[in-house]
Amino acid sequence: MAEQRKNKRTKMVLPVKVLIAGTTHLAHTFDVTSVGARLGGLHAQLKKGQTIVLQRGTKRVQFQVMWVQEISPTETQAGIQAAEQVSNFWGIDLSEQEREGKIGAKELAAVFAAGKK
């Protein structure tokens, strides 16, 4: 069965803080789109439909959990979607790259530099 996505996923591992019920957890992305991401390395329980907050640098955005997969008893992966339209949360404008279907080394370097602030 072919996967039908509106937004192209871009493989990008970025560190994020995940705020769940007032507690901060560390995680990372596997891939991102302009409207969401696949999270990994999360050592907390999530439920489909739950609202969480992601933080990158000083930016905080609410996301809704779309799916959850337990990788092990202590690690979870989740697909998340932004609760509202967000521009440049990941440190790069993915909307144009999604239309073109590519991201260059210059854009990736900018993302990593922004994450270290």
DSSP 22-75: TEEEEEEEEEE-SSEEEEEEE-S---TT-EEEEEETTEEEEEEEEEEEEEETTE
pLDDT in tens, 70-90: 988 888 899 999 988 777 788
The reported pTM is 0.74
Handedness of CA 83, 45, 19, 91 (dihedral sign): negative
What pLDDT shows up at residue 25?
94
Handedness of CA 60, 57, 67, 46 (dihedral sign): negative
Domain boundaries, the chain: 10-106
CATH code reported for the domain at 10-106: 2.40.10.220
Tokens of 77: 């992966």
- Range of weakest confidence among 2-6, 20-24, 65-69, 110-114: 2-6
Share the mean pLDDT of the chain: 80
AA identity, residue 106: K
Tokens of 9: 């996923």
